[in-house]
Amino acid sequence: MFSASEIQSIKQRFGIIGNSPLLNHAISVAMQAAPTEMTVLITGESGSGKESFSKIIHSLSTRKHGKFIAINCGAIPEGTIDSELFGHEKGSFTGAHEARKGYFEVTDGGSIFLDEIGEMPLGTQARLLRVLENGEFIKVGSSKVQKTNVRVIAATNVNLIRAVEKGKFREDLYYRLNTVPIFVPPLRERGEDMVLLFRKFTSDFSEKYGVKPISLDEDARKLLMRFPFPGNIRQLKNIAEQISLLEQERDIDAATLTRYLPTDQNRLPAISAGSGNTADQADFSEREILYKVLFDMKKDMNELKKLVLESYQSGGLNSTIINKHQDLFEDIESPVSFEDKNHQETHSSNLPLVLDSKGNSETSEDYDDDNIEDIIHEEDDNSLSLEKKEKEMIIRALRKHNNKRKYAASDLGISERTLYRKIKQYDID
């Protein structure tokens, strides 16, 4: 084991703040693994500082004079990730006007950090496994086997065991990557480190903006340490910058700090519910879409019930009622006229028009109040298709951003990788 002074020296070298036992243990494991050639898998929540550990491992290894490249697997489109990692030959696909070296060829003799490894497509996972086992790879569009000597350091914020069970990650690759596991603790489990980090960030921002440093009173410090920080260090830094820039009073109490901490309603439950183990966030992006779908669907169904009830009570589904609820008809692609027609003002217009589940229209003479309630419930059941709603939301987002997936994914609150997979799943043009 390493002494406290050796660990502290590494912290100072790489700008790591904190004295949490969990943090010190993670640094100690990284220092032990660094001189070896073992593959390392770093796990931890988003924003907890996993990339710093990859730099520690590379800098203390025998490869420290070789190249080090950090790659976010979730940020590379599925169709180009093989080319990015392994290279391609000229003419191997549309747009390949010249041959290109991949990262595994460029970093020969060095280290490569694969962040968000859980987002890597299954086909690419098979290629990566071959590199790890034999040091071999083949460029896209080539049949020639090439050799490379690269140390792989991988990181993920999802539970790869769950991903393996769901068929989203190769089991053999998981065990090959997980030779040396390093768990980076979330900020909420690091105790007094929150206050130390906050002090460091506010000191840096006071120097950047030329203002007096921020200080917290005792109640504010306790409040800071109780907050779960689902976004971890990244979220704490953002809050420190906001307070440093916006607050005139530099001595911050708990009431002032509360204004900068998100409320429970603004916090996403999938993240803040984490415990001492690595959070299972493999399906977080999809759950977030489903939350939005359910909220929108509940709102639409309530509006639909109001429309049916008003039309029944008023004696007809006339233009006044429909115009009042035009937002319910936004998704109808064919043009709809909400104008009253003179020839419709017959005796039948005094009877409410009701559609059955097959789309057939009947008048209120054929239905009593119980019938109408049954129809509403039946329509509820037929409308509760999460996949349909999810597809509609994705189509709306794509149309809104002129089919630019990056901005559509941001609007939906999911990764571009997840959006690409959903587009293929629902066969969206």
Q: Which residue has the higher pLDDT, 187 or 285?
A: 187
Q: 38 and 160, same structural domain?
A: yes
Q: 376 and 395, same structural domain?
A: no
pLDDT at 274: 38
pLDDT digits (tens, 9 = 90+) for 288-338: 566 556 666 766 677 676 666 666 666 665 656 556 655 555 544 444 444
CATH no. for residue 402? Answer: 1.10.10
CATH no. for residue 197? Answer: 1.10.8.60
The percent of residues above 90 in pLDDT, for the chain, comes to: 52
Q: What is the mean pLDDT of residues 65-71?
A: 95
Q: Is residue 278 part of a domain?
A: no
Residue whose token pair is 């990788």: 417
Flag the least confident range among 165-179, 246-260, 287-301.
Answer: 287-301
What is residue 84's DSSP assignment? H
Q: Is residue 277 part of a domain?
A: no
Q: 332 and 262, same structural domain?
A: no
| Burial of 230 from C-beta contacts in 10 A (0-12 / 13-18 / 19+) | buried
Q: Is residue 65 part of a domain?
A: yes
What DSSP element (H or E) covers 361? strand 361-363
Q: Is the pLDDT of residue 170 over 80?
A: yes
Q: 71 and 39, same structural domain?
A: yes
Q: Is the pLDDT of residue 83 over 70?
A: yes
Q: How many helices (H) and strands (E) does the chain have?
A: 19, 11
Q: 178 and 35, same structural domain?
A: yes
- 416: confidence class by pLDDT, cuts 50, 70, 90: confident
Q: 171 and 24, same structural domain?
A: yes
Q: Which residue has the higher pLDDT, 5 or 300?
A: 5
What b-and-e string marks burial along 365-377, b requiring 16 or more CB atoms within 10 Å of the CB? eebeeeebeebee
pTM as predicted? 0.61
Q: Is residue 75 part of a domain?
A: yes
Q: Which residue has the higher pLDDT, 304 or 287?
A: 304
Q: Which residue has the higher pLDDT, 211 or 290?
A: 211
pLDDT at 304: 73
Q: Is the pLDDT of residue 354 over 50?
A: no
pLDDT at 316: 61
pLDDT at 288: 55
Q: Is residue 98 part of a domain?
A: yes
Q: Is residue 48 part of a domain?
A: yes
Q: Is residue 110 part of a domain?
A: yes
Number of domains in the chain: 4
What b-and-e string marks burial along 391-403, b requiring 16 or more CB atoms within 10 Å of the CB? bebbbebbeeeee
Q: What is the mean pLDDT of residues 131-144?
A: 92
Q: Is the pLDDT of residue 267 over 70?
A: no
Instruction: List all residues 6 or more positions away from 250 whose beta carbon is below 8 Å from its beta carbon.
Output: 211, 212, 213, 214, 215
Q: 392 and 380, same structural domain?
A: no
Q: Is residue 279 part of a domain?
A: no
In angstroms, rounded to a whole number, what is the distance separating the alpha carbons of residues 81 and 337? Answer: 48
- Alpha-helical (H) ranges within 210-324 are 218-226, 232-246, 254-258, 269-272, 284-314, 319-324
pLDDT digits (tens, 9 = 90+) for 358-372: 444 444 444 455 555
Residue 119: which of 87, 76, 84 has the closest Cα?
76
Residue type, 308: V
In angstroms, rounded to a whole number, what is the distance separating the alpha carbons of residues 248 and 127? Answer: 56
In angstroms, rounded to a whole number, what is the distance separating the alpha carbons of residues 298 and 295? Answer: 5
Domain finish residue from 231, 248, 272: 272
Highest-scoring range by mean pLDDT, 291-295, 350-354, 384-388, 391-395:
391-395
Residue type, 80: T
Q: 132 and 87, same structural domain?
A: yes
Q: Is the pLDDT of residue 21 over 60?
A: yes
Domain finish residue from 241, 272, 303: 272
For strands 111-115 and 151-156, give the pairing: parallel
Q: 353 and 217, same structural domain?
A: no
pLDDT at 357: 41
Domain finish residue from 136, 160, 185: 185
Q: 321 and 205, same structural domain?
A: no
Q: 46 and 161, same structural domain?
A: yes
Q: What is the mean pLDDT of residues 370-386?
A: 52
Which range marks the domain in which residue 220 is found?
A: 189-272
Q: 415 and 266, same structural domain?
A: no
Task: Indicate the average pLDDT of the chain.
Answer: 80
CATH no. for residue 112? Answer: 3.40.50.300
pLDDT at 400: 85
